[in-house]
């Protein structure tokens, strides 16, 4: 039976953006990082974040009302738990993801116009600028994968391989998880040249840099990918593409793999109706406003696109309601 909505429920849903905007503005301006050294007045905080005094005061008051800050005697300090999550000094920092979501928010507010025109939202850099936005996006991928990667790799067997090709490997989170699971293996991480220094930093911290070749390029524009791997990992990429773009990418992966090699695709996978899982239907909107042709796809659609590129025997190795579904196929 379909849910019967009340006016109160719909009103609360329509206003949910307000708290999100306050939190994400605080993250984007690094209010929480500024306060890690101790309490500040509004004047001190405005200077630290290069903000207007009136506007900074109102933002800090709203963050205090939401109990993310504590205001006492005209000074603002961090609420318990926020240092770990909302500053870059926290061991479990979510700050890059918050900053990335602030960028997403600027696209989401253009949704009605995107639906009218069929064109993705206009891109507006954050206060950190394009380089800062790229860094926050790549590190946000590390945030969402740091705990999931070792668990999913373990669930997968882990798979047997000698040489991994991590396509669009970003901060190397998945490369690290695969190489830790297979100590005798090597990997090639392929991503944009501007991303590779971030990957190198994480690989060096993990003590795995000597087992990885960092290859700069663009899997959309380049005619080929680095060759010779027997396992290709395509993680959280297919949703950024149209089906035609995915067929092109799968064809490049197919050509790069050794004979009998496998491709593993990690992504949200929809049921044929494209209504479930709910997270996937909402994530499709994120792709609608942020990409020219991206979306979320069903197993049947991905299987067809893999077959068109020459892959055989597609199978779901792992399934969940989010980005943790993994599909495998073999080079035919």
pLDDT of residue 313: 96
- Looking up tokens 């949703």 gives 239
Please say if the pLDDT value at position 90 is more than 80.
Answer: no
128 close to 28: Cβ distance less than 8 angstroms:
yes
Residues 199 and 265 in one domain: yes
Distances (CA, A) of 182 to 41, 154, 163, 164: 52, 11, 10, 10
Segment 279-304 mean pLDDT:
98
Q: What pLDDT, on a 0 to 100 scale, did the predictor assign at position 54?
A: 98
Assess contact for 332 and 253: CB atoms under 8 A. no
7 within a domain of the structure (yes/no): no
Mean pLDDT of the 240-251 span: 98
Range of the domain at 115: 105-141
Residue 115: band (very low, low, confident or very high) from pLDDT cuts 50, 70, 90:
very high
Burial of 306 (0-12, 13-18, 19+ CB in 10 A): buried
CB 238 within 8 A of CB 297: yes
The H or E element containing residue 245 is helix 243-256
Same domain (yes/no): 165, 136: no
pTM value?
0.92
Structure confidence by residue, pLDDT tens digits, 158-211: 999 999 999 999 999 999 999 999 999 999 999 999 999 999 999 999 999 999
Distance CA 270, CA 36 (A): 42
How confident is the model over 206-236, as pLDDT tens digits?
999 999 999 999 999 999 999 999 999 999 9
pLDDT for residue 51 is more than 90: yes
Helix (H) or strand (E) holding 206: helix 196-206
Q: Work out how many domains the chain is built from and give that number.
A: 3
Identify the domain boundary among 96, 126, 159: 96
Residues 279 and 179 in one domain: yes
- 58 shares its domain with 119: no
pLDDT of residue 257: 98
Confidence of residue 153 (pLDDT cuts 50, 70, 90): very high
Nearest C-alpha neighbor of 250 from the set 311, 315, 312: 311
Over residues 60-73, the mean pLDDT reads 98
The answer to whether the Cα torsion of 31, 36, 41, 47 is positive or negative is: negative
207 shares a domain with 92? no
């Amino acid at each position: 039976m379909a849910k019967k909505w009340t006016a109160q429920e719909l009103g609360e849903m329509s206003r949910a953006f307000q708290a999100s905007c306050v939190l994400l503005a605080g993250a984007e301006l690094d209010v929480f990082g500024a306060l890690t050294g101790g309490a500040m007045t509004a004047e001190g905080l405005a200077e630290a974040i290069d903000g207007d005094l009136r506007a900074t005061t109102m933002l800090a008051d709203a963050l205090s009302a939401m109990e993310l800050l504590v205001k006492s005697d005209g000074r603002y300090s961090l609420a318990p738990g926020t240092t770990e999550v909302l500053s870059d000094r926290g061991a479990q920092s979510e700050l890059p993801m918050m900053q990335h979501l602030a960028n997403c928010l600027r696209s989401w507010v253009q949704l009605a116009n995107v639906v009218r025109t069929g064109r993705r939202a206009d891109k507006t850099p954050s206060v950190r600028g394009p380089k800062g936005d790229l860094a926050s996006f790549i590190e946000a991928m590390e945030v969402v994968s740091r705990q999931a990667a070792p668990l999913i790799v373990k669930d997968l067997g882990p798979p047997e391989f000698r040489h991994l090709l991590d396509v669009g490997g970003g901060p190397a989170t998945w490369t690290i998880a695969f190489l830790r699971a297979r100590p005798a293996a090597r990997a090639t991480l392929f991503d944009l040249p501007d991303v590779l220094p971030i990957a190198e930093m994480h690989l060096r911290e993990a003590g795995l840099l000597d087992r990885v070749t960092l290859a700069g390029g663009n899997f959309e524009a380049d005619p080929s990918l680095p060759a010779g791997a027997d396992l290709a990992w395509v993680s959280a990429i297919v949703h950024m593409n149209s089906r035609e773009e995915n067929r092109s990418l799968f064809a490049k992966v197919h050509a790069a793999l050794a004979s009998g090699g496998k491709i593993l695709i990690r992504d949200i996978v929809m049921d044929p109706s494209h209504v479930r899982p709910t997270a996937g239907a909402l994530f499709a909107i994120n792709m609608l406003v942020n990409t020219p042709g991206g979306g979320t796809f069903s197993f049947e659609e991905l299987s067809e696109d893999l077959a068109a590129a020459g892959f055989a025997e597609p199978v779901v190795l792992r399934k969940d309601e989010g980005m943790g579904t993994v599909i495998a196929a073999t080079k035919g």
